[in-house]
Amino acid sequence: MNNYINNDTIAAISTPAGTGAIAMIRMSGTESLKILDCFFRHSANTTISHRTCVYGQIYDNCELVDDVIVSYYKSPESYTGEDMVEISCHGSVYIQQTILDLIVRNGARLALPGEFTFRAYRNGKLDLAQSEAVSELITSENKKSHDVAISQLKGRYSSRIKSLRDKLVELLSLLELELDFSDEDVEFAKRDEFMALLDTIESELKSLICSFDLGNALRNGIPVTIIGKPNVGKSTLLNCLLDEDKAIVSDIPGTTRDIVEDVININGYVFRFIDTAGLHKTDDVVENMGIERTMEKIKNAKIILHVVDATNADRDSIKREMAEFQSYLHEEASSSSSKKWVVVVNKIDKAGNMDNIQCTDDVCNRDVKLIDGDSESDWIFISAKKGENIKAINDMLCDYVKSQDIDSRTIVTNVRHVEAMREALAAIQSACKGFEDGIPTDLIAIDVHQASYSLGSIIGEISNNELLDSIFGHFCIGK
C-alpha cells in the first residue's frame, strides 16, 4: 500500500491484454497533460480542454506510431479525481506498448493493480464498498450480478450501512456523555430507547447477512441439484438442459458415481446444475462416497429437481420417495426449509396413461409433511430423451428467481462485508445483553464501539493499509 501513497503520474493499458480493434491507455496525475504534450500532435485549430476528445497523431521522435483520439478530464471531475488523459489507439499490441513506453519515458510510472480506483477512493470519489463494486461490475457475468454491482457502485448499499453506523455513533456519543458525568448518575437517553434502536439495527443486519446467501448464489449461479433413484434419467436431463453430453448416460444403474456440475444462463439468470449419484442404499463403497457427496450438494442447493421414472411410479410411491429423501435432510431442517422441491416426472414418451401420477385431489391428502413439491406447479412432466417440455423447467427456474423478492440495494455479495456485518451483529447482541443484565455503561460502550468500527470498515470510514492492499491488489492493472 505504501507504493500507492504518492502523487506521481501513473499510466496503464486499461483494455484487455492482446490484440483488439481498439485499445485504451490512461494516465492519471498532475503531469498527465505535460507528458502527453511530449509526443502528441494535433491540429492547431483544436485545443485539449476538459471533457473533450481531440484527434491527432502519436510520434516516437519523428516516426508516426498511430492516429489516436485523446480524451482529457480535468481534476477533480475525473474518475480518479486527478487530471486524466485517455488515449484510444488501434489495438495492436506493438502500438499499445510503444505508447505506454513513450508515456513512461516522459515521466509517468506504471500503475499498480487497482491504483486508479485507489486514487478515486483516496480522493473521495468512491467509498470502499463502491470501489469494490467496480471490481464486481467488471467481473459481472449475468444480469443479476450486474444489477447488484451497479446498485453498490451508485452508493445505495453504502448509504444503508452509513445510516446504521451513524445511529450507532449517536448512541455511542450519548453513552460516552453519561460516562463523563458518571459521578452524577445521569442517563442521557432512556434504556428502552437504546434497546429499541439496537433491535432495529440488529434486524437490519440480520436481513443483510441473510441476503449474502442469495447474493452469492446470484453471482456464482443458483445451485440446482438433480436427484433421484438410479436410471430415472438424471444424466439425460442434465445433458438436455446443458445441451451437451457431459454426464454419462447408460442403462446400468449407478453409473453417475461422481458429481457432474455445470453452469448455464437462462434469460440472464445463472444456474449451477449438479447431477448427483442416485440416492439409494448400496454396499458399493465408491458409490456410497458419491451418495454422501450428493447429500452435501442437496444441503447447499436452492432448488432440487427430484427426477422419477413415469414408467414405474405412481403418485403415492413418488411421495413416499420424496419423504424418504427429505428425511435424510432432517438434521438440516433450517437449510432444507428454504429449498424449492420440484418433482420431475421423466420418460413420459414411454409411460402411456399417467392417471396414477397426474394430480387428482390426492395432493391435499398427503400423509407426509413435504417441504415443497406439493402444489401442481411443482410437478413437471417431461421426456428428457426427446427434449419434451424442458421449457417448463426453464420457466420454473426463472420464476423462482423472480419470486425471491430481490431488492438489489440490499443484497450483500462480498465476503469481507458479510464478515464485518457478522462482527457488528455479535457486538450489537452483546450490547443488548449488557443492557438487559444492567452491566456498566463503559462495557456496553465497548460493544457499541466495536459494532460501529466493523460497519465503518465496510465503507472505508475506518481502514488500514493491509485491508486496502488486499482490496485494491486484486484489481486488474489499468483500473
Contacts with ligand GDP, residue ranges (CB under 6 A):
228, 230-236, 249-251, 255-256, 278, 346-347, 349-350, 383-385
- 65 vs 384, beta carbon nearer ligand GDP: 384
Minimal distance in Å, beta carbon 389 to ligand GDP? 10
Cell numbers given for 393: 423447467
- 345 vs 459, beta carbon nearer ligand GDP: 345
Minimal distance in Å, beta carbon 148 to ligand GDP? 34
- Cis preceding-peptide flag for 76 (omega within 30 of 0): yes
Nearby residues of 314 by Cβ (< 8 Å), 6 or more positions away: 356, 357
State which H helix or E strand residue 466 sits in. helix 465-472
What residue has cell string 488501434?
90
Minimal distance in Å, beta carbon 247 to ligand GDP? 7
Minimal distance in Å, beta carbon 305 to ligand GDP? 11
State which H helix or E strand residue 233 sits in. none
Angle, CA 396 vertex, CA 391 and CA 399 arms, to 5°: 125
State which H helix or E strand residue 362 sits in. none
Minimal distance in Å, beta carbon 200 to ligand GDP? 50
- 182 vs 250, beta carbon nearer ligand GDP: 250
Minimal distance in Å, beta carbon 424 to ligand GDP? 46
- 227 vs 397, beta carbon nearer ligand GDP: 227
State which H helix or E strand residue 384 sits in. none
Minimal distance in Å, beta carbon 224 to ligand GDP? 15
Minimal distance in Å, beta carbon 122 to ligand GDP? 55
Cell numbers given for 86: 485517455
What 3-state DSSP class applies to 335? helix
Distance CA 422, CA 428 (A): 10
Minimal distance in Å, beta carbon 399 to ligand GDP? 23
Minimal distance in Å, beta carbon 279 to ligand GDP? 11
- 3 vs 353, beta carbon nearer ligand GDP: 353
Distance CA 423, CA 431 (A): 12
- 209 vs 295, beta carbon nearer ligand GDP: 295
- 138 vs 289, beta carbon nearer ligand GDP: 289
Cβ atoms 100, 117 nearer than 8 A: no
β-partners of residue 41 are 57
146, 152, 156, 162 alpha-carbon torsion, rounded to 10°: 160
Name the residue whose CB lies closest to ligand GDP. 233
- 247 vs 444, beta carbon nearer ligand GDP: 247
- 218 vs 260, beta carbon nearer ligand GDP: 260
Distance CA 296, CA 299 (A): 5
DSSP calls for 394-449: HHHHHHHHHTT---GGG----HHHHHHHHHHHHHHHHHHHHHHHT--HHHHHHHHH
DSSP calls for 80-145: SSS-EEEEEEE--HHHHHHHHHHHHHTT-EEPPTTHHHHHHHHTTSS-HHHHHHHHHHHH--SHHH
- 228 vs 460, beta carbon nearer ligand GDP: 228
- 168 vs 226, beta carbon nearer ligand GDP: 226
Minimal distance in Å, beta carbon 273 to ligand GDP? 13
Cβ atoms 234, 226 nearer than 8 A: yes
Kindly tell me the sign of the dihedral angle through the C-alpha atoms of 456, 457, 461, 463: positive
Distance CA 7, CA 32 (A): 12
